[in-house]
Amino acid sequence: MAMKKHLINFSAKIQSDDFEKTYPLDYCIPVYHAVSNFHLPHLKHIINYKSEKEFEKDLEILSQNFQFLNWNEFKDFRNGNFKPKKKIALLTFDDGLSEFHDVVVPILERKGIYAINFINPKFIDNKDLMYRCKASLLIERILQSDKKPLNVFDDIIGNDKLKKLFIRKIHGMTYSEPERLDGLAKHFRENFNDFLVKYKPYMTLEQLKAVTKKGFGISNHGFDHPLYHELNLEEQILNTTQSYDYLNENDFITESFAFPFTDFGVKQEFFEKIFSTNDLFCSFGSAGLKRDSFDKNLQRIPMEKGKDANQILKEEIAYFNLKKLLNKNTIYRK
């Protein structure tokens, strides 16, 4: 792992800033979750989200090297019916977080850039909180315990080694065990429902419709943000179609689907099934700069790595080229 990182860093340092020439694919699909200048405890320990200044810097870098398209232009491009002036970019966001409505859309309107946000219907209108966000809140509570004593588990929380162990265990909790997080919340005096009411971390249906009226896209991210390779095929299809039905009922975009977390381990059978039963145009993973053996599944580049777009793209190109030497820059489905 250390050798791989060293090779990528070395190769990235000698990469040109002219991504029009060095970027190996004809499309770039960056993915973000939130943009905020504020401390967001439900995201802080799971997403390295960017400030408004950092996000605008990324947009400037991307705009210099790529032509941003809207959803219809992107479809036309993929169908060979749109000829861009340079390599294209489709800006994407995940999870339907409220910062998209409050922060991101005003920035994009000012710059004339389109984005599509992939949502989980279970959380819209702040009816529930995604399990990883619950984990982040609990970790924040533990880290703040010196300032706000918990009274429960004080002996454990007061021990740095045990505190780190607790945090590691919370980070490791999965989609299939939400009751463990809910149980811990009671012990740590964290109320997820109160947090939802007070902070409203997700967009409401009204806000979703408002951003679509402004010309932005809303599409499918699964019903409740599972890790797809942990589900069997029937569960994968159900989670996807439940979200599809919500989008269809509310006149959002049903032609696309972005995997929550990752599409790692998802088999060819899922793609064949879901593309045969729905009006899907394409799906999206988030494995970075890679090709996919299922040509309608396009990989996106995660942009929340504590680096600007220039450095992220250089590292992605470097890694792509290194993998190319080993014939491993394509994801193959079984």
* pLDDT higher than 80, residue 15: no
pLDDT tens digits for 30-61?
A: 999 999 999 999 999 999 999 999 999 999 99
> Spelled out in words, what is the top-level CATH class assigned to the domain 2-128+202-331?
alpha beta
Q: What is the pLDDT of residue 136?
A: 97
Domain boundaries, the chain: 2-128+202-331, 131-197
Which of 17-21, 99-103, 192-196, 236-240 shows the lowest mean pLDDT across its residues? 17-21
- H helix runs in 35-177, sequence order: 52-65, 71-78, 98-99, 105-111, 131-143, 154-157, 160-171
Of the candidates 75, 68, 81, which has an alpha carbon nearest to the alpha carbon of residue 108?
68
* pLDDT higher than 80, residue 151: no
Mean pLDDT across the stretch 305-333? 93
DSSP 100: I
Task: Please give the Cα distance from 141 to 127 (Å, whole number).
Answer: 22
